[in-house]
């Protein structure tokens, strides 16, 4: 999982010699897939140029409330900048800026932005060893930690003064891994194993023909990707689907038939915390799949015998111990009644009902309209939403139940 991918990161650069490392930090953040904007203190521009940072971040760099050199100067809105950010990293953070942050001073754009920020704030101090050890600096750190800000401790080594000790700004790689591990620790599904089935199954008639259905796999893939973004270790057992799985940390097991899906799912179920079966598994398969293509004979029809496939979800319900088990129900009539019966029969914790009678619900589209029925018989209907938002609702519901 790329923790910083897609995150909007505001980097605050203050006037310390380590400011030159801000260029590497911007580069690494962009490489992680983050969108980066930089705000600098006016003096920081003496250590690293805004041109370097704007080129690397591909965004304009701000350092004053107005662009003073420009006759058409516009107000740089610190509030907008602060609210834009998912994360604010101040690196390097000098003793001077940290002290001002601790006491609410806002005599430059960076400080005003800090005061307006609602997102998590990380700061990487950089100063000489005696400044780092000074009681007032320690007090500053405690005040900032008390505000909920995160300190990325300085490293030890040779300092700009020539002295050796703690005070060097943490290396850009260390800053990134520190932030990633803090974010991971706070994710609600961190360390949990989530098993998802998705897509259709194809039951072979002969080498070129099969019994299948219109499922695209989109709903299950959205669930798998959202679970992964919440820190889960996700295994996705996926029937034939042309929808790409963009999160490369998901363990995708490609299967074709219901039997293969059954085998794959049972391989992972014992150690699973949450199992979500969204696959549209074929209910019947030909008794024998022929090795050779069936030839047509003029004027003659064709019939062959079908037998039921194994019900994967029901088998998981039978073996359920600690797992939270979720099934889907696709209904065309008596939706609530049929879903409640399925929930009980298959020993589920939650069933997600889609009615084919609802506009915006179903297999191929990007939207779905669902109703949750949980094992306490609580019925929660939702509006038509994107499949990504439905995935979010499902996982939010599960998290609220497993944390309760």
DSSP 334: S
SS3 content of the chain, % helix, strand, coil (to 5): 35, 25, 40
Residue 134 phi, psi (nearest 5):
-60, 140
Sketch the per residue contact string, 12 through 41, with ligand CTP: x for CB under 6 A, - otherwise: ------------------------------
DSSP 66: B
327 binds ligand CTP (CB under 6 A): yes
Residues for the chain: how many in total?
404
199 binds ligand CTP (CB under 6 A): no
Name the nearest CA neighbour of 216 among 252, 235, 196, 240: 240
Q: Which of 59, 96, 213, 338 is catalytic?
A: 213
Strand, helix or coil for residue 25: helix
Only one of the segments 171-179, 266-274, 305-313, 358-366 lies at the binding site for ligand CTP (rule: CB under 6 A); that segment is 305-313
Distance CA 243, CA 262 (A): 21
9 binds ligand CTP (CB under 6 A): no
313 binds ligand CTP (CB under 6 A): yes
238 binds ligand CTP (CB under 6 A): no
Shortest spacing between CB 219 and ligand CTP, in angstroms: 11
Contacts with 240 (C-beta within 8 Å, 6 or more apart), sequence order: 199, 200, 201, 202, 212, 256
Only one of the segments 11-19, 151-159, 166-174, 304-312 lies at the binding site for ligand CTP (rule: CB under 6 A); that segment is 304-312
- How does 109-119 read in b/e, with b if 16+ C-beta sit within 10 Å? bbbbbbebbee
Distance CA 331, CA 196 (A): 21
The number of beta carbons lying within 10 Å of the beta carbon of residue 383 is: 9
β-bridge partners, 195 = 235, 275
Distance CA 56, CA 299 (A): 71
| Cβ-based nearer residue to ligand CTP, 175 or 326 | 326
β-bridge partners, 274 = 194, 324
Shortest spacing between CB 258 and ligand CTP, in angstroms: 5
Shortest spacing between CB 321 and ligand CTP, in angstroms: 18
354 as an active site residue: the answer is no
311 binds ligand CTP (CB under 6 A): yes
Query: Of residues 53-112, which lie at the interface with ligand CTP (CB under 6 A)?
Result: none
269 binds ligand CTP (CB under 6 A): no
Distance CA 117, CA 299 (A): 76
283 binds ligand CTP (CB under 6 A): yes
8 Å CB contact between 399 and 189 = yes
328 binds ligand CTP (CB under 6 A): yes
312 binds ligand CTP (CB under 6 A): yes
8 Å CB contact between 205 and 211 = yes
* One residue of 29, 127, 281, 398 binding ligand CTP per CB under 6 A: 281
| Cβ-based nearer residue to ligand CTP, 342 or 387 | 342
Shortest spacing between CB 318 and ligand CTP, in angstroms: 12
Encoded tokens for 360: 């915006």
Shortest spacing between CB 22 and ligand CTP, in angstroms: 50
Query: Of residues 333-362, which lie at the interface with ligand CTP (CB under 6 A)?
Result: 342
| Cβ-based nearer residue to ligand CTP, 132 or 324 | 324
258 binds ligand CTP (CB under 6 A): yes
* One residue of 44, 279, 390, 398 binding ligand CTP per CB under 6 A: 279
8 Å CB contact between 182 and 10 = no
| Cβ-based nearer residue to ligand CTP, 88 or 328 | 328
309 binds ligand CTP (CB under 6 A): yes
Distance CA 62, CA 153 (A): 26
Footprint of ligand CTP on this chain (CB under 6 A)? 197, 258, 277, 279, 281, 283, 309, 311-313, 327-330, 342
User: Which residues are tagged catalytic?
Assistant: 213
């Amino acid at each position: 999982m790329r923790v910083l991918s897609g995150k909007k990161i505001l980097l605050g650069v203050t006037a310390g010699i380590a400011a030159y490392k801000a260029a590497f930090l911007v580069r690494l953040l962009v490489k992680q897939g983050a969108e980066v904007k930089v705000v600098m203190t006016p003096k920081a521009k003496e250590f690293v140029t805004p041109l370097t940072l704007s080129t690397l971040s591909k965004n304009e760099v701000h350092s004053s409330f107005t662009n003073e050199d420009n006759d058409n100067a516009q107000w740089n809105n610190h509030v907008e900048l602060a609210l834009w950010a998912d994360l604010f990293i101040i690196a390097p953070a000098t003793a001077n800026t940290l002290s001002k942050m601790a006491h609410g001073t806002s005599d430059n754009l960076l400080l005003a932005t800090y005061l307006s920020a609602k997102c998590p704030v990380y700061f990487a101090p950089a100063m000489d060893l005696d400044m780092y050890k000074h009681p007032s600096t320690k007090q500053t750190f405690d005040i900032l930690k008390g505000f909920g800000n995160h300190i990325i401790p300085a490293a030890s080594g040779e300092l700009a003064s020539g002295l050796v000790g703690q005070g060097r700004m943490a290396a850009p790689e260390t800053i990134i891994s520190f932030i990633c591990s803090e974010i991971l620790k706070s994710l609600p599904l961190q360390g949990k194993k989530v098993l998802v089935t998705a897509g259709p199954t194809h039951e072979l008639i002969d080498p070129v023909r099969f019994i299948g259905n219109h499922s695209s796999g989109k709903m299950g893939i959205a669930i798998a990707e959202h679970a992964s973004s919440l820190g889960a270790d996700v295994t996705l057992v996926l029937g034939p689907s042309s929808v790409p799985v963009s999160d490369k940390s998901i363990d995708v097991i490609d299967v074709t038939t219901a039997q293969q899906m059954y085998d794959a799912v049972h391989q992972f179920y014992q150690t699973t915390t949450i199992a979500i079966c969204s696959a549209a598994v074929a209910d019947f398969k030909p008794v024998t799949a022929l090795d050779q293509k069936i030839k047509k004979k003029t004027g003659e029809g064709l019939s062959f015998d079908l037998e039921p496939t194994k019900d994967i979800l029901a088998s998981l319900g039978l073996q359920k111990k600690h797992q939270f088990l979720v099934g889907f129900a696709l209904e065309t009539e008596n939706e609530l009644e049929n879903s409640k019966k399925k929930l009980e029969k298959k020993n589920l914790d939650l069933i997600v009902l889609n009615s084919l009678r609802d506009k915006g619900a179903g297999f191929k589209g990007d939207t779905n309209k669902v109703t949750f029925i949980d094992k306490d018989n609580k019925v929660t209907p939702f509006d038509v939403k994107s499949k990504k938002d439905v995935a979010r609702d499902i996982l939010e519901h599960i998290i609220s139940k497993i944390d309760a």
